[in-house]
Amino acid sequence: MRNSPEPRERTNGRSREVAALLSAARALLENRAFADAGRAVLGACKAILGADAGFVAVTSPGGKGIEAVCLDPGSLGLPVAGGLPAPLRRLCSRAAKAGQVVIGNDLAKGAVQASPAGDHAALESALLAPIVIAGDVVGLVGLINKPGGFSARDSQLAEVFAEMAAVAKLNSSTVNGLEKDRNGLAREVRNGATHLRQAEEQFKTLVENLPDIIVRFDSTLRHLYASPAVRRLTGRPWQDVVGKTNRELGMSSELVKAWDAALRSLDRETVLATLLDHLRGLVPFDRAHVMLLEEASRISVRAIFDGNSVVPIPAEERPEFDPTDHPIVQSILTTGKAVLIPDVSAHPGWSLPTDRLSEGSWMGVPLFARGSVAGLFSLAKREAGYFNREHVRLAETMSSQASVAVENAILFEQMQASTARMQLLSRRLVEVQESERRNIARELHDEAGQALASLRFGLRLLEREIDEGGSVTGRVTELMQRTDAVIDGLHRLAADLRPASLDHLGLEAALRQYARSAGSKFGLTVRFKARGFTSARLPMAVETALYRVVQEAMTNVVRHAGATRVDVLTERRGDRVLVMVEDDGAGFEPDQVKGEDHFGLLGLKERAEALGGTLRVESAPGAGTTVVVEVSSADPHSDR
């Protein structure tokens, strides 16, 4: 018994449909740009439906506007630059609002005829299939003028091709998000380089106008640079100072020894101990201490002479005290003038935490760095009345000459700390980038890649079932579910990289969305509150940085806190913006954070400081953790 022409024709039609679906699926795997993938999807859809023309378009937020990404005018001659004709725009608006396929097969009966200007032929029929991602219509696939009009079967096929276009749109958004982040990082590097050059120029101008002694030496301690203050002090022109040693410039032998020894080291404790040791050659003493001001209410002892030798004190063993509790020390730090006490037993209110003298003489000489008091020399002698004004003058001379060595040591210490910090941040940046790439690769391979491969296999099974004359309804439903899973996975990946709501709706909406998704993803109760976001939006750089702050803080909670509840508060107060993330987790000692935990807090601190803001971390074991970031609502880099 021979097959009738009708089943054979139906089978051939199914085969063409499967071939078109396979062609579109290949285009998704081969093209990253939405326009290229959309063009391939449109071509396959147009061919299988038998339409004369077609387009793929994207909609603006809210579906108020539409822009064609790719257009196949067919024989209609639709203009590319002039936009779609009004009848098509109306159908597009209906499809975008309904989120469903819209068919118009009676366009020729209305007023939609050939354009009077001759820019397009008559419109007869059209089919609009919405491109839907996470429940939002983001675009449309449009087919125009099919002989005999579009059918319900055409609607089903167009929906499948629109789903493929949604996958292409998500792929493109993911790639664009990565590219945007990469360009942002490159822009920050360029801005940093520009800022560094400007800072160097400002520093040079500052040095040339400071009254302080600033010099630079070569390896043999000959002057390479001397500030105007040095030239004024020596009374020598520039050419007589450069290339000379301190001895050749007339400095005393003991001062030369102290200066040279101090300048040969950049370790602050070694420099201070060396200066104190050489000071003994100018001013005899029985006990001595070098103290440095750490901050306004804290001073530490860095080196000590115990009667036998000068010993630097390790950081963990340094005595510290509040200078405001000791009027003599506070006077030296405040006035920058030396204090001489010939007999401490006769001095009312004598109090010094480092020297418990009941008798004898004492003097304190300020130590300068960067033009301000950085600490002091504390010198004691058991013999009352021993120290005199000449001793004070000699100690002040040593202190004045030592300021450059102390400044060098301080700058070197800060440079080392900055270098170590930059190395930590660079290593962390690389780790974050690699981790992000691994996550993206895993998501694309494990979810999107495998799902698309499964989709391709399912299409082949569908083709075989069609050839065998079987029912394909169940198989089509299964393939639609797989396609939905791919779209959901890619949408989640794109949202993790950069949520569309941050670009379109602003910080408050993006954080509210993130709080919901994070709570669901990590099994946490996440409460979000926003206050004061009623005026214009924040600059994009500020919004992005604060969004990342909340992301990183939430990541720290999930990794380390063991919390069940997280509160996220963001508040706009005038020209300041505050973000607070508080959890009920295990808590920790902020001063004792090390290793990878330190990287997380360091990243938060860097993001805050990049915007001229501050980071405050409040925590204790068993008491949860509160992270507070406060920044300016203005972009600090907007003038670059």
* 182-224 per-position pLDDT tens digit: 777 777 777 777 777 877 777 777 766 665 566 676 766 676 7
Would you state the pLDDT for residue 112?
42
pLDDT digits (tens, 9 = 90+) for 235-273: 667 677 777 766 666 655 655 555 555 455 455 666 677
Q: What is the mean pLDDT of the chain?
A: 74
d(CA 317, CA 302): 9
Query: CB count, 10 Å around CB of 223?
Result: 20
Q: Which of 67-76, 193-202, 473-482 has the highest mean pLDDT?
A: 67-76
Q: Which of 38-47, 57-66, 84-93, 436-445 has the highest mean pLDDT?
A: 38-47
pLDDT digits (tens, 9 = 90+) for 9-23: 555 555 566 566 666
Would you state the pLDDT for residue 117?
44
Which H or E run contains 157? helix 152-209
Residue 326 pLDDT exceeds 90: no
State the number of CA atoms in the 13 A half-sphere of 477 facing the CB.
Answer: 4
Residue among 137, 215, 201 at smallest CA distance from 169? 137
Q: Say if strands 625-632 and 576-583 run parallel, antiparallel, or are unpaired.
A: antiparallel
Which H or E run contains 184? helix 152-209
Min mean pLDDT across 61-70, 87-96, 224-233 is at 224-233
Min mean pLDDT across 321-330, 501-510, 519-528 is at 501-510
Average pLDDT over residues 619-640: 77
Asked whether 580 and 569 are in contact (CB, 8 A), the reply is yes
Binned at pLDDT 50, 70 and 90, residue 595 comes out as very low
More confident site: 497 or 136: 136
State the number of CA atoms in the 13 A half-sphere of 266 facing the CB.
Answer: 9
Share of the chain above pLDDT 90, in %: 3
d(CA 306, CA 289): 9
Q: Give me 473's structure tokens.
A: 């309804």
More confident site: 462 or 294: 294
Residue 531 pLDDT exceeds 80: yes
Would you state the pLDDT for residue 128?
93
Average pLDDT over residues 373-400: 85
Q: Which residues pair with 71 in a beta bridge?
A: 55
Binned at pLDDT 50, 70 and 90, residue 1 comes out as very low
Q: Give me 23's structure tokens.
A: 């062609």
DSSP H stretches of helix in 210-345: 228-234, 238-241, 253-263, 268-279, 327-335
d(CA 514, CA 25): 31
Residue 517 pLDDT exceeds 70: yes
Q: Which domains are assigned to the chain?
A: 5-179 (3.30.450.40), 213-407 (3.30.450.40), 499-632 (3.30.565.10)
Would you state the pLDDT for residue 18?
59
* DSSP letters spanning 438-485: HHHHHIIIIIIIHHHHHHHHHHHHHHHHHHTT---HHHHHHHHHHHHH
Binned at pLDDT 50, 70 and 90, residue 103 comes out as very high
Binned at pLDDT 50, 70 and 90, residue 115 comes out as very low
From residue 25, alpha-carbon distances to 37, 45, 169, 451, 478 in Å are: 9, 12, 13, 11, 16
Contacts of 606 (CB under 8 A, 6+ apart): 425
More confident site: 68 or 263: 68
Q: Give me 590's structure tokens.
A: 């902020």
Would you state the pLDDT for residue 186?
74
Residue 640 pLDDT exceeds 60: no
Average pLDDT over residues 94-111: 81
Min mean pLDDT across 75-79, 363-367, 485-489, 517-521 is at 485-489
d(CA 465, CA 14): 10
From residue 628, alpha-carbon distances to 508, 568, 582 in Å are: 17, 10, 9
From residue 431, alpha-carbon distances to 182, 193, 425, 428 in Å are: 15, 23, 10, 5
Asked whether 569 and 529 are in contact (CB, 8 A), the reply is yes
Query: CB count, 10 Å around CB of 208?
Result: 11
d(CA 242, CA 249): 10
Binned at pLDDT 50, 70 and 90, residue 109 comes out as low
Q: Which residues pair with 132 in a beta bridge?
A: 137
